[in-house]
Amino acid sequence: MALVFIRTAIIFFTLLLIMRLMGKSQIGEMQPFELVITLVIAELACIPMADSSIPLLYGIVAIVSIFILHQLVWLLNLWFKPVKNVICGTPSVVINKDGIDPFQLKKNDLDVSDLVESMRGAGYFSLDDVYYGLYEANGSFSALEKEEKNSGSLPLILIDLGKPDKKNIKKCGFDEGSFKELLKAHGAKIKDVVAMTVNGDGRTYFQKRGEKYRIFDIEVPEKW
């Protein structure tokens, strides 16, 4: 019986570690340890139920073990702040007053398109609609919005963490040469750009690595 407890504890902490390592893009609304419990407890309950050669007590002890581990993690979270940071994680501020923080994005296995998608889900369609944007420890996105939003039309991502989106660049009326010329005029190469988006009015969000973002207008052939 003690064996079942220890095996359960090993699986519990292994899963917890893996979920934490996966980052916030992998978890939904739950804290990592709550998700681990949800995954494990269903399986623990099913195995002795489905396999009559295993004593039911094995499943019961394993489930009680999960309860004890849950309570332990909960108490540790409550009493020791550093433990809470390790187990549940901390919010990641991915947008600050200087623009996108590429380090925080990469730390959570996200890119600019994931960020834009999260922002759209929260009701913001432009990267400069918010002062601050952050991923909470449970993976949800929160933002401190600006008084005035600039979401007149849908922005297209032209550069995402140094990688160009050729289809969108073409849609904005640029070829490779003219696009590089535009970047050169702003003192950047493609790989130096954290994010560049353009909306249908030609309003451009441009952020070079290590610098504050800039907003400028460019000519776009057609509005969208």
Residue 64 in the binding site for another protein (CB under 8 A)? yes
Q: Which is nearer to another protein, 21 or 72 (CB)?
A: 72
CA distance 219 to 159: 17
Contact 160, 195 (CB under 8 A): yes
Contact 89, 135 (CB under 8 A): no
Q: Which is nearer to another protein, 7 or 170 (CB)?
A: 7
Residue 71 in the binding site for another protein (CB under 8 A)? yes
3-state helix, strand, coil in the chain (%, to 5): 50, 20, 30
CA distance 68 to 216: 57
Q: Which is nearer to another protein, 9 or 122 (CB)?
A: 9
Residue 72 in the binding site for another protein (CB under 8 A)? yes
Q: Which is nearer to another protein, 2 or 50 (CB)?
A: 2
CA distance 183 to 160: 14
Scanning 51-59, 94-102, 122-130, 151-159 for contacts with another protein by CB under 8 A, the matching segment is 51-59
| Contacts to another protein by CB under 8 A | 1-3, 5-7, 10, 52-55, 57, 61, 64-65, 67-68, 71-72, 74-75
